[in-house]
A and B are shown apart, each in its own frame.
Chain A
Amino acid sequence: MLGYFLKRLAAVIPLVLLVSLICFALMQAAPGGPVAMLSDNPMLGPDEASRIRANFGFDQPVAVQYALWLKRVLLHGDFGHSHVTGEPVIKMIWQRLPATLELMGAAFVLAFLFGLSGGILAALKRYTRFDSAVMLVTVFGISIPVFWLGLMSMMLFTVQLRWLPSTGMFSLGIPFSVADHLRHLLMPALVLSLMFIASWSRYMRASLSDVLALNYINVARAKGATGTSVVFRHAIRNAAIPVLTVIALNLPALFTGSIITETIFAWPGMGRLFYDGLLRQDYSRLMGIIFIASAMIAVLNLIADTVYGILDPRIRFAR
């Protein structure tokens, strides 16, 4: 198992390095930025401009600049300073990361509970009205874009029914309470999770009904195992393998989805930070976020591979 894990890890590390190279290349290729600012500034003479360039290392060859940048990123987590707020980028990200993780986590829990239970029920009641209803709802669930769903649910729950607040993490002007916070969390989390509820329940249904048709299930039934025990002790274990892989592979999409959800609901997370950086062309902030996001995707994929290897020993020896 450890060997398998190390092999996957060895595949992931060069990938992250390459992504960082692409990030750096994009940042270099983008117009504007600090170098352009220096040459455009009429108050600076050519001597001073070149001195500042030398101080920041901008006179070095691009390869050296990349190496220095990478060293700062890897050793100190230093993505430079935002040239909008002047704060270190890493500090801005650290401030916003918890909100994003909270939103993602809440959406994940909702999707996991409702998606899997919906899929299991649909598979057990296959070809009944319940099954068709679940499948019809899920077709729409995977098709509704998250931003429209956000607008529609705001319209329904905030404007029409006045049940839930539409923006932010807290109500302003009242002391913090967990209930108030959860009320703010509920709508964004539901909106973000719907697509995953739909997709995971479809996977669960397909996978479980495939497994239920296998011979070893018939054997278990023939030996007298009851319905529930067949499903939960025998079938679910095998049916869960592909579903868990899909869930792990979907985690990056959950992250991307939270970007849009955050911008709609003014949830102060990394998505909001990224969007703000886009509007202000704050490249070092954008690159920091893209790099952190791809590192997270890489780690999540590594977790997916590892989980897959634990659940299905054949995978470990296949390659």
Chain B
Amino acid sequence: MGFSTPVLDSPVSTGSKRVVEVHTSHPLRETLRPGPGNRRRGAQPRLVTVLKRSPLAYAAFILIGLIILGAVFAPLMSPYHKDKIDLTRQYLAPSLDHPFGTDDLGRDIFVRVMHGGRISLAVGFLAMLVALFIGVAAGGIAGYYGGWIDGLIMRVVDLMLALPAFFVILFVSSVVASTASIVTVCLMIGFTQWMEVARLVRAVVITTREHEFVDAARSLGIPDRRILVRHLLPHTTAPVLVAVTLGLAQAVIIESGLSFLGFGIQPPTPSWGAMLQDAQSYLSDCPWIAIFPGLMICLTVVCCNVLADFLGEAAGPGRSSLS
């Protein structure tokens, strides 16, 4: 976790045995590294300017922006209504009228895919917020206090990692299936995805709490909670940002997997996974019903992964989150 220590004079990560190759002066590291004394806000390069230097990451950034915009403005994107059944227009292949074709009930797939983005992305973001909150709290407390508190929290982390998460989520959703809502899906995903964040935060807090500025804060009589929140947790921004971006992709995949198996978002609400479930029966004659929702899942996840990789490389040398 060397990259997160507030080393200002040396760009080389201290705790890592790896050899630094190319990323020694990446400007985003200045943006992401919130070390004390490094808060020259005016001098920080803007995220977009930094992103432009990596074409792949920039493309991913634009694309995910477009997907989010499409989801937000879904009702304005098409003259059709997402749930409007029109039996005179079943199984139409993609055309100018229906860019993504129509499904078995004559609903326009384009507008459903855009609306599906609302559900899938909302679930992804909310689930990550849940995971982020639990992970940062658990990791921060474990790292700061150490001792038996640390032991207890890390045993819980081990336990959660030992559970076959997807099975448990499936089981719980089959039990609550009749009352399942977006909130329950988000909570379930969040509760099974926070461990990575907790480990990262704990590791950073453990290395950072030994620094003099923490001693200084303590000797000034600043309470523990404030030291943890104001002085230690900001150091975890960079690795946590990477973990959250990857986690968002993971949450989108889990949600669509659940909905695909019929235990997530219930029809007629369009979500990408639920649309794929319907599509299974029409694979041979109407492939477009299956192609477009899945393509959106893929693009979203690819964009998140590329961005996470970029952020990881930018935040710390010798660390690649994708690999």
A307 contacts B by Cβ under 8 Å: no
Q: Are A297 and B301 in contact, with the CB atoms below 8 A? A: no
Q: Are B283 and A151 in contact, with the CB atoms below 8 A? A: yes
B249 contacts A by Cβ under 8 Å: yes
Q: A206-B323, A281-B174 are in contact. Are A139 and B306 (CB under 8 A)?
A: yes
A275 contacts B by Cβ under 8 Å: yes
Q: Which of B166, B167, B249 has the most CB of A within 10 A?
A: B167
Q: Are A16 and B323 in contact, with the CB atoms below 8 A? A: no
Give A274 to B261 CA distance when docked, in angstroms: 12
The proximity string for A residues 98-134 relative to B, scoring 1 for CB distances below 8 Å and 0 otherwise, is 0000000000000000000000000000000000000
Q: Are A297 and B164 in contact, with the CB atoms below 8 A? A: yes
- The interface residues of chain B lying within 8 Å CB-to-CB of A143 are 249, 298, 301-302, 305
9-residue interface stretch from A18-26, A84-92, A180-188: A18-26
9-residue interface stretch from B100-108, B135-143, B155-163, B213-221: B155-163
Residue in contact with B171 in the complex, picked from A16, A159, A290, CB distance below 8 Å: A290
Give A147 to B263 CA distance when docked, in angstroms: 14
Output the least CB separation between A162 and chain B (Å). 11
Output the nearest chain B residue to A263 by Cβ-Cβ distance: B261
Interface residues in B281-323 (C-beta closer than 8 Å to A): 283-284, 287, 290-291, 294, 297-298, 301-302, 305-306, 309, 318, 320, 322-323
Q: A213-B21, A275-B261 are in contact. Are A144 and B166 (CB under 8 A)?
A: no
Residue in contact with B283 in the complex, picked from A15, A155, A256, A278, CB distance below 8 Å: A155
Q: A26-B171, A155-B283, A290-B167 are in contact. Are A206 and B294 (CB under 8 A)?
A: no
Give A268 to B171 CA distance when docked, in angstroms: 19
Majority secondary structure, B binding face: helix
Interface residues in A1-37 (C-beta closer than 8 Å to B): 11, 15-16, 18-19, 22, 26, 29-31
B175 contacts A by Cβ under 8 Å: yes
Residue in contact with A148 in the complex, picked from B170, B298, B323, CB distance below 8 Å: B298
Q: Are A144 and B170 in contact, with the CB atoms below 8 A? A: no
Counting chain A residues whose Cβ lies within 8 A of the other chain, the interface size class is 35 or more
Output the least CB separation between B190 and chain A (Å). 17
A267 contacts B by Cβ under 8 Å: no
A82 contacts B by Cβ under 8 Å: no
Output the nearest chain A residue to B306 by Cβ-Cβ distance: A139
A294 contacts B by Cβ under 8 Å: yes
Give A148 to B300 CA distance when docked, in angstroms: 14
Interface residues in B105-133 (C-beta closer than 8 Å to A): none
Output the nearest chain B residue to A281 by Cβ-Cβ distance: B174
- The interface residues of chain B lying within 8 Å CB-to-CB of A286 are 167, 171, 174
The proximity string for B residues 245-258 relative to A, scoring 1 for CB distances below 8 Å and 0 otherwise, is 00001000100110
Give A142 to B305 CA distance when docked, in angstroms: 9
The proximity string for B residues 239-276 relative to A, scoring 1 for CB distances below 8 Å and 0 otherwise, is 00000000001000100110011010000000001001
Q: Are B164 and A148 in contact, with the CB atoms below 8 A? A: no
Give A290 to B165 CA distance when docked, in angstroms: 9
Output the nearest chain B residue to A138 by Cβ-Cβ distance: B322
The proximity string for A residues 259-303 relative to B, scoring 1 for CB distances below 8 Å and 0 otherwise, is 110011000000000110011010000100110011001100100
Q: Are A255 and B19 in contact, with the CB atoms below 8 A? A: no
Q: Which of A22, A278, A289 has the most CB of B within 10 A?
A: A278
- The interface residues of chain B lying within 8 Å CB-to-CB of A290 are 164, 167-168, 171
Q: A151-B279, A151-B283 are in contact. Are A145 and B301 (CB under 8 A)?
A: yes
Output the least CB separation between A208 and chain B (Å). 11
Output the least CB separation between A161 and chain B (Å). 12
Output the least CB separation between B20 and chain A (Å). 9
A79 contacts B by Cβ under 8 Å: no
Q: A145-B253, A151-B294 are in contact. Are A19 and B172 (CB under 8 A)?
A: no
B280 contacts A by Cβ under 8 Å: yes
Q: Are A22 and B306 in contact, with the CB atoms below 8 A? A: no
Q: A159-B284, A210-B19, A290-B167 are in contact. Are A152 and B294 (CB under 8 A)?
A: yes
Q: Are B162 and A19 in contact, with the CB atoms below 8 A? A: yes
B46 contacts A by Cβ under 8 Å: no
- The interface residues of chain B lying within 8 Å CB-to-CB of A142 are 305, 322
Output the least CB separation between A145 and chain B (Å). 5
Output the least CB separation between A20 and chain B (Å). 11
Output the nearest chain B residue to A295 by Cβ-Cβ distance: B162
- The interface residues of chain A lying within 8 Å CB-to-CB of B18 are 210
Output the nearest chain B residue to A271 by Cβ-Cβ distance: B167
Q: Are A210 and B318 in contact, with the CB atoms below 8 A? A: yes
Which A residues lie at the B interface, using CB under 8 A? 11, 15-16, 18-19, 22, 26, 29-31, 138-140, 142-145, 147-148, 151-152, 154-155, 159, 199, 202-203, 205-206, 210, 213-214, 252, 255-256, 259-260, 263-264, 274-275, 278-279, 281, 286, 289-290, 293-294, 297-298, 301
Q: What 4 pairs across the A-B complex have the smallest Cβ distances? A: A148-B294, A202-B323, A143-B301, A206-B323
- A-B pairs with beta carbons under 8 Å apart, 11 shown: A15-B162, A16-B162, A147-B273, A148-B294, A148-B297, A151-B290, A159-B287, A199-B323, A264-B280, A274-B170, A278-B171
Known contacts A260-B257, A293-B164; 14 additional CB pairs below 8 A are: A15-B162, A26-B172, A143-B249, A144-B301, A145-B298, A155-B284, A159-B283, A205-B323, A252-B164, A256-B166, A256-B167, A275-B261, A294-B162, A297-B164
